Amino acid sequence: MMQQITDKVYYVGVNDRVKYRFEGLWALPSGVSYNSYLVVDEKVALIDTVDVAFFAEYLEKIRNVIGGRPIDYLVINHMEPDHSGAISLIRKYYPDIRLVGNARTFGMVSGFYGEDAEGGVEVKDGDVLSLGRTELTFYLAPMLHWPETMVTFDADRGILFSGDAFGCFGALNGAVLDTQMDTSVYWPEMERYFAAILGKFCAPVQTALKKLSPLPIRMICSTHGPVWTAEAARAVETYRRMSAGETAEGVVVCYGSMYGNTQRMAEAVAEGAAAAGVRKIVVHNLSVSQPSFVLADIFRYKGLAIGGPTYNGGLFPVVEDLLKRLAGRSVAGHKLAAFGGFTWSAQAVKVIESYNEKMKMEPVAPSVEWKQGPDAGALERAYALGRALGEAVREA
């Protein structure tokens, strides 16, 4: 069916309810959408494409809108293959289409698909492309979250075609516009998407937000998730808040445990945080919890307690995996409590503390170590560590 979102602008995206992990990494319990848009004026512009696996459905949607009309331009805001994968096939069906992108875009078109950009329109920051009444202005937004990323603004309608920015996980369930759906399911998915995909790029996000702030944005057409209209300002504020490192009062306890000893210590840490008056406490067994949900909670709350046993002369792998992810993300504003056990060689705490040299979180108390099974004294020290973390979070 044809889905018109405003005058001359149509949604032609698709839903993926099959893919199990986004980028092969991040769980998709509710699927994901690949959004693409048609602007139909004197000339026709297609804004981004979709994953090539959905091309037949995609082509049908395009034809339902424009019939036999040609597509004059394909605007490529982002070259990640879930949005650029259909470029080669679109060019076969619309051989006169002209690619619109920046210099880095065209290099990636060649590198990914062996396609040349002959006849393409190379744009720079602030360049304008006229479709008739509609004029599209392009703004480069490098490292949001690839170096070629740009956004496209339709000033007449106040539409920002934002690429991955302001996107979220979750397939669309019939409606496309936020005013026609219950959006409550998408806000935590936006936070999870940001933490997983954009958490490393908070500074470029802030730069892009500053650049785009003067624009009179009334609608945000991202490449994932709903089209934001009534709640466009909330989408922008979510990205601003998360990229600025602003967190709520709360504690996340993350641990890995082979035989239950570290789990007992983690429970004591959580009890201590609760005794300090913290109401929002989330506990993740890292052998069970999917990393994107863990990262979302860490970005959401101020305090992080992380612990694990020594393993093969280092740190238990699922715990070290989380630390590797955090070391590449902007989490310096957090309060940290570390705890680790060992049987004969104390290494766990040393590894956690070495990662914090990159994470730059603020330790709230000396790390807690114990040998072999935790006795009453070790559990008391874990409780005190959690209480110190809770008090630090409440004072922040």
Q: Both tokens of residue 319?
A: 């715990």
pTM (2 d.p.): 0.95
What is the pLDDT confidence band of residue 101, given thresholds at 50, 70 and 90? very high
Nearest CA among 361, 371, 347, 336 for reference residue 265: 371
Say what the pLDDT of residue 2 is. 77
pLDDT tens by residue, 338-382 = 999 999 999 999 999 999 999 999 999 999 999 999 999 999 999
Cα–Cα distance, 396 to 303 (Å, whole number): 10
Q: What are the pLDDT digits (tens) for 183-192? A: 999 999 999 9
b/e per residue 64-103 (b: at least 16 CB within 10 A): ebbeeeebbbbbbbbbbebbbbbbbbbbeebeebbbbbbe
Task: Give the 3-state secondary structure of 315-329.
Answer: ECHHHHHHHHHHHCC
Quote the CA–CA distance of 165 and 194 in Å, as a whole number: 9
pLDDT given at position 395: 87
Residue 184 CB-density burial (10 A; 0-12 exposed, 13-18 middle, 19+ buried): exposed
Which distant-in-sequence residues (6+ apart) come within 8 Å of 119 by Cβ?
A: 98, 99
Distance CA 264, CA 234 (A): 40
| pLDDT digit string, tens, across residues 7-56 | 999 999 999 999 999 999 999 999 999 999 999 999 999 999 999 999 99
Q: Tokens in use for 289?
A: 């919890």
